[in-house]
Amino acid sequence: MLTIGKLSRATGVKVPTIRYYEQIGLMPAPIRSAGNQRHYDRAAQDRLGFIRHARDLGFPLEAIRELLGLSDDPQGACAVADDIARRQLAAVEAHIARLTLLRDEFKRMLAHPSGSAADCRVIQVLGDHALCGHDHARDDIA
């Protein structure tokens, strides 16, 4: 049995994150000692490792919840897991495309060196979005 600190060290997941995963139901409630200390077994360590790896791959928590449900049902259809992974792949590809556009925009800005701030292309482009090569505005920035 592992304490929460040892589980944290074994998996690389911070203690507050482990508690959060318990709160939202990704991790089951741990066994408690007489002193109310959390104790985790190998299955909990494996589950947390699964969650950590899925998070490292960028899966959102709801997708991880679905994948854990499939993992808990060995007779379930793998096609569902494949669909979840396809959605994540599409999200990664969209992110790569956006990053590629941003990289190209920076290259365009930096391709026009200047001596003073008055004719600095970076300052001009940041001040006038119309000077950009394409629209890269983000909807999720407030």
The enclosing domain of 39 has a CATH number of 1.10.1660.10
So what's the pLDDT on residue 141? 44
Does residue 19 sit within a domain? Answer: yes
- Whether 30 is in a domain gets the answer yes
Give the orientation angle of helix 15-23 with respect to helix 4-11, to 10 degrees. 100
Whether this model's pTM surpasses 0.85: no
- What sign for the dihedral angle of Cα 10, 13, 17, 23? negative
pLDDT at 51: 97
pLDDT (0 to 100) of residue 8 = 97
Rounded to whole angstroms, the Cα distance separating 24 from 142 reads 27
Q: What are phi and psi of 96, to 5 degrees?
A: -60, -45
23 domain-assigned: yes
Does residue 68 sit within a domain? Answer: yes
Long-range contacts of 3-12 (CB under 8 A, 24+ apart): 3/37, 3/38, 3/39, 3/40, 4/30, 4/37, 4/38, 4/40, 7/40, 7/44, 7/45, 7/48, 10/45, 11/45, 11/48, 11/49, 11/52, 12/52
Structural domain span for residue 64: 4-76
**52 falls within a domain:** yes
What tokens appear for 27 in the block? 């991790």
Count of the separate structural domains present in the chain: 1
For residue 69, tell me if it sits in a domain: yes
- Per-residue confidence in pLDDT tens, the chain, 142 aa: 999 999 999 999 999 999 999 999 999 999 998 888 999 999 999 999 999 999 999 999 999 999 999 999 888 889 999 999 999 999 999 999 999 999 998 998 888 877 888 888 888 888 888 888 777 765 544 4
CB 66 within 8 A of CB 84: yes
